Amino acid sequence: MVSLNELYSGWMVLNELLGALKQSGIFIPDLTFADFRNSKMALEYLRSFEGDISAQSDADVKLRQEMELQILRLRDTMIIWAEEKHGVEYRTEWDKKFNDAIRGVTSIPETEPQVPITDLPREKDVGFFRIKLPEEIPVEVISELAEDCEVLISLDGERHLQVSGKKECVRDAMKRLGELFYGESTLRK
């Protein structure tokens, strides 16, 4: 049986392949995306309780086996799509990456640490959103925008911006931030 860290590493390779296939124009069914989400959630659950699980005999062994089979099925599907679109060499390259990952040859890539959401508004008519502020956007511009839109903002040391206030004001702030980041919206009103 493959270790949970190795399975997770294999999942990360498959997720990267999924992105590459989608970017190259291959249609990915919604069920495949659901399988990816569900398998990641189960892997994260198993990894977070791995110490407790290993202390008990045969605890969650069935779930681990199912996860291994699920990851292998996802790999088989992705590899077939990769070969159909890009040929045998491309498939072989990704197959090698996956096999290296589940054998522990490659390590799990570092993920950005999650920042806890604090002081979330709980009132019914209050909205909020959270984004990571790009480096090129000065904080002063955000402060002016918050004042104009009548919303509250908080910014931590990692440039994670939390905006809260009346729902209409938050929507206006979100729209204006989007225009600031990406330019004028092309969506119809």
Q: How do beta strands 152-155 and 126-132 pair?
A: unpaired
Going by their DSSP bridges, the two strands 160-166 and 152-155 should be labelled as antiparallel
The whole-angstrom separation of Cα 163 and Cα 5 is: 36
126-182: CATH superfamily = K Homology domain, type 1 (3.30.1370.10)
CA distance 172 to 147: 12
Calculate the CA 63 to chain-centre distance: 22
Domain coordinates in residue numbering, the chain? 4-102, 126-182
Distance CA 17, CA 28 (A): 12
Distance CA 88, CA 118 (A): 49
Question: pLDDT: is 108 or 155 the higher one?
Answer: 155
Residue 145 above 50 pLDDT? yes
- The DSSP element (H or E) to which 60 belongs, if any, is none
What pLDDT does residue 64 have?
75
Q: Which long-range contacts (CB under 8 A, 24 or more apart) does 120-123 make?
A: 120/164, 121/164
The SS3 assignment for 105 reads: coil
Residues for the chain: how many in total? 189
Average pLDDT over residues 76-90: 92
> Residues 35-81: pLDDT tens digits?
888 888 888 877 777 655 554 555 567 777 888 888 999 999 999 99
